[in-house]
Structures are given as C-alpha cells and as structure tokens.
Amino acid sequence: MNDFKFPADFLWGAATASFQVEGYPLADGAGPSNWHVFSHKPGTIANDHNGDIGAGQYKKYKEDVQLMRWLGLKAYRFSISWSRIFPEGTGKVNEAGLQYYQNLIDELLANGIEPWPTMFHWDLPQALEDRFGGWQSKDTAKAFGDFVAYVTSKISDRVTNYFTVNEIVCFTRSGYESGVFAPGLKLGSKAVAQTVHNGCLAHGLAVQAIRANAVKPAKIGLAENMTAAVPVYEIEENINAARTSFRHGCADKLVPMLEGAYPDFWLENMGGNVPEYTDEEMKIISSPIDFVGSNIYAPTYVEADDNSPFGFRNLEFPDGYPKMNMDWLRIGPGISYWTPRFLKELWGVDSYITENGCAAQDKMSLDGEVYDTDRLMYLRQHFLAAQRAVSENIPLKGYFVWSLMDNFEWSSGYDKRFGLIYVNYQTLERTPKLSAKFYREVIKANAVV
C-alpha cells in the first residue's frame, strides 16, 4: 500500500510576492516601483485596480505569521521590495524599509517558520526604469547585485536560503515585448532578448553577492517558470521527447545558468536577435547554485515526432480541455512529477516546487466559510504527483503553495483569487478556506490525505 508519505525533512511552505500582498507601497519613505506606476495608468489592470491595498501584509504581518503557524508551515517564501530599501534603486538606504523585513524575519523565526526570501519578484524601482530603461540595461543588473549584497549583509545572520529572481520571462518579455506587465513596453526581438539576458545576469550577480556577503553558509537558487513538459502518455519515446522539449523551453535561462552557455540550436534560431554578451557574463550567469525552484501551474503535452528536427512535438489543447479560473491554467498535475524528474535527469539538481496553486471563483458562504473544493482537488492531485517523485528518490525537497492568501493578481487586479486564505478587500479580514484546512492536515500528516 502507498501511504502517500513524504520524507521526514520535506519542506512544506507557502509563497507570496511583496507588491501583491504588502500594500502601502509608498509607506515610510519607500520609492515607487514600476508596478506602482504601471498599475496607476488607466486601462492597464482589470477594473483599474492597483497595488495600494494588496492584502495589507505590511501592517498585518504578525497576524499573517500566526495564520502560517496555524497552517503548520515550515517555511514562508516572500519577496523583498527593492524600492522600499533603495527608493532610487541605488544610493541612499531607507532604513524603515529594511526594518520591515527585519521584523518579518524575526517574527517568522519566533514562530518556528523558516524565512525564504526572494530578492526580486518583478517590482523594479521606477527610478531605474527612468534612468537606465530598466531591464534593457546591464546597469540595472549591476544595481541589483549591489542591492542584494547590502540586504544579504543585514539578514544573513538569520537567513540561510535565498531565491535570486522570480520568473525572468515575466519581468522581461511580458513587460518589454507584450507590454501586459510593467513597464508596458513593446520592443523589438533583439531588445527583448537583451532584457532576458540582463535578467539572467542579475541572477548571476545576485548569487555572487550572496556568497560574498552572507555571514553564514548560504543555499541559493532561483524561482523559474518553465515549459512544464509532460509525455502525453508514458512510453519511452514520449518521455525522451518531453525531456528534450523541457530543455528547449529552458534554452535562454536555465541552460546557460546550469551549462554555462546558450545552446547552439537557440543561437541559430535567434540569428541576428542574439543579445550582446561576453564570456565573463556567461561565467557570472553560471555561478553555481544549490537548487532550482519551479513555478509550475499548467502542462505542455509532448509526443515523439520523427519528422521534427529535434524529435518532439508540443501538442495543441482542444477547446474543451479543463482549466481553473484563469484561461491559461489548464489542469495537469503530472507536472509536479515530471518537472523535478527532468531537472534531475538533465542537470542533477535538487529542486523545490516554489509556486503551484490555482485561481478559483471563491465566495464566502452564509456560514462564513469558503468551500473551495476545486482548489482542494487541484492541490491534492499535484501533491500526489509530487509524492510519486519523492517515492522514486527524485530530489524534490519541498513545496510552496501559491498563494498563502488572496492578493493583487497583477494585470487581473483583485478579480482572481489564488489564496489558501480568503481576504475581504474592504476590511482586510482573513478567513482560511477549506483548502487551507486540507493543507494543514497534509502538513500535519506529512502525507497526502
């Protein structure tokens, strides 16, 4: 009998991002981020919402830590707002901004919860957007390295695990190519490829900054979304095809980080749109890391195809394919097995699922409860897939559910709820959903229940 148990040291956590949950983005001397500016432009966010409220965690962090303790979380993944600490991106430090994160870290530790900070989760100081063109410039990557060095020197007496950046494609291509995210630009292919390279360079500089400034030995990775390739059915040919598809989907980010160079097929395909880079930058980008964090939500089904130059074909989804309450969030729990498996097989790395969860049409019932059986179903199937991975000795070390609580869902504003905890945006009252109670029992049993 499979009792669906996890290893004794498996790390159960939940994740958030600063701009989404904190609110009060200009409080106590903070500078504006590009997301603050972008979300205040009419027409950029659903219903013209903005991040001024978030979930109010900036003032309610102690209450939120008690909810984490009730859940039984072993770790909390949160991000640090660059513009709270350096309002201009560089230069003068805003001590009040740093103190907020010091207080949060202390509160987590006092309640037996490990802090796992992400150094950048999309909210770039607007001053760097104005001065350098944001991620169009390598100067922004260098400024990020300096920011990370400073913060590490202040928190590393209590923090040992770090994520450098979150989802490079989202703060580069989505912000500078499609324009649906901050700063809302639509640049040409070569300029966009340069932003991606500069994001990778920022990661590498952050790895070096943490290693150089941490007062205790540090473990470092990044949180990356990737093509979550799944063999459409499990025969050897499709498994091999899915593994190849997975690596191809990582060609301009994880491949250079873990292999030290852009792959030949990618360089050939990019042609004249290859970004400008140096050998020294590639050494920085491939600075050794300790783990890879996977932000995974929806599958890409792959089958073997002998007529393809690379032997695989990514399949289209039929119109009726089931999905959660986001158009792109198609249900495919196998990703929580295949992603850590392919990370092991391709690069031999430990991994964490650093984001997984779903939007649902959550409503408060008359008895004051939120019965999100759809989210419970989604999470349970993903946990089962993750348990398959650990049962096969794949080095999946932990799981951070996205998200701890409802929050500002970027271009969707407050219309989409991803949280385990329901937030009333008028009162900021928190209510654990049915999925939170389920997750609490999973953590308590260290098994899928």
* Bond before 403 cis per omega within 30 degrees: yes
Who contacts 322 (Cβ-Cβ below 8 Å, separation ≥6)? 330, 331
| Phi, then psi, of 200 in degrees rounded to 5 | -65, -40
Indicate the helix (H) or strand (E) that contains 265.
helix 264-270
Alpha carbon distance 419, 413 (integer Å):
14
Q: In this structure, how many other beta carbons lie within 10 angstroms of the beta carbon of residue 398?
A: 25
| DSSP-derived pairing of the beta strands 430-432 and 421-423 | antiparallel
Closest CA to 411 of 25, 32, 44: 44
Q: Is 236 one of the annotated active-site residues of the chain? A: no
> Using an 8 Å Cβ cutoff, are 118 and 64 in contact?
no
Which residues lie across from 12 on neighbouring strands? 399
Who contacts 162 (Cβ-Cβ below 8 Å, separation ≥6)? 116, 117, 118, 119, 152, 210, 218, 219, 220, 221
Alpha carbon distance 128, 120 (integer Å):
14
| CA 407 to each of CA 16, 53, 109, 355, 417: distance values in angstroms, whole numbers, following the listed order | 9, 9, 24, 15, 7
Q: Is 355 one of the annotated active-site residues of the chain? A: yes
Please tell me which residue in 167, 224, 303, 409 is annotated as part of the active site. 167
| CA 347 to each of CA 34, 246, 255, 296: distance values in angstroms, whole numbers, following the listed order | 35, 12, 9, 18
| CA 114 to each of CA 12, 136, 181, 248: distance values in angstroms, whole numbers, following the listed order | 10, 34, 30, 34
Q: Nearest 5°: CA angle at 307, between 302 and 310?
A: 60
Please tell me which residue in 129, 224, 303, 355 is annotated as part of the active site. 355
> Using an 8 Å Cβ cutoff, are 323 and 331 in contact?
yes
Q: Nearest 5°: CA angle at 35, between 352 and 97?
A: 75
* Bond before 183 cis per omega within 30 degrees: yes
Active site residues: 167, 355
